[in-house]
Structure 1
Amino acid sequence: MAPLRSRQESREQAVEQSTWTISELADEFGITARTIRFYEEKKLLSPRRSGGDHRLFDKRDRTRLKLILRGKKFGLTLEEISNILGSATADRNEAEQVRTALRHFERVLKDLEARKRGIEEMEKELLQYMGGIRTRLAQLENRGDDNPY
């Protein structure tokens, strides 16, 4: 039985390849073949077909898959990822695609900063509320009064 290759070894070998099967990409990126087919259905990937109607992914598809997964990690929707990749309008140049990506990531960053501020405010309010509860508990314990009536 052949030893299992590490994910790093798979990636190093993958860089040297020019085409990949769906199972090779799924293994490399730690996702399911179904996920890759879903991205194809959404027109985010467009592999060519072999004579036996098997999907063959090229370097462009592999790069796009890497960008899709990175976008999902950063909380982008598939529509936003599609816009960044230029799938919606194929005639966009690279500079326009990069500007679009930058605008999306700036918006994601602003959203994260707003959430962070909201969490910090909630934390402050919760700590104040807990302080009031502790004060009240200390008052009750000092009185020796466990009966609220």
Structure 2
Amino acid sequence: MNQVKAIRQRYQIKRPEFAALLGVSVRTLEGWESGRFTPSGAAKKLLQVIGASHEAFAQLQRFKGEEQMIELERDPEALTIMGVPFATKSNYEATVSAIANNMFEGYQPTVEDVQYFAEDHKQPINPTEALARVRQAKRVKTNG
């Protein structure tokens, strides 16, 4: 069976909805499923990701239109996020991952949040724990 069709059928989604999630026409999707041609570029990568991860597919479904695009100001060469510099590449990458994953849930980071992540904690960043601390600090500021 064609891999594109297998992915769609595994998620029990109709062609029009799947095509819309991938940002392609139904005709293009039909072409991929029939084997007349194959996906390439970003579509190929996206199919690989959602084919390998139910979580990735679920997150993709949360974004129905372009108005829900998420953008995080960052510079991987300078190791900065929202203008805040990071001392190590590993903490920079962990922070990008933590923030981006939580932005899918509606989290909007502030410069203060990013500064917290950039502080030298003398240990690797635990993204879940760090975001919980940031959120708790915000609750204390709001309530106190």
State TM-score, norm by structure 1: 0.31
- Answer with 1 or 2: which has the greater Rg: 1
The structure with more helix, counted as a fraction of residues: 1
State TM-score, norm by structure 2: 0.32
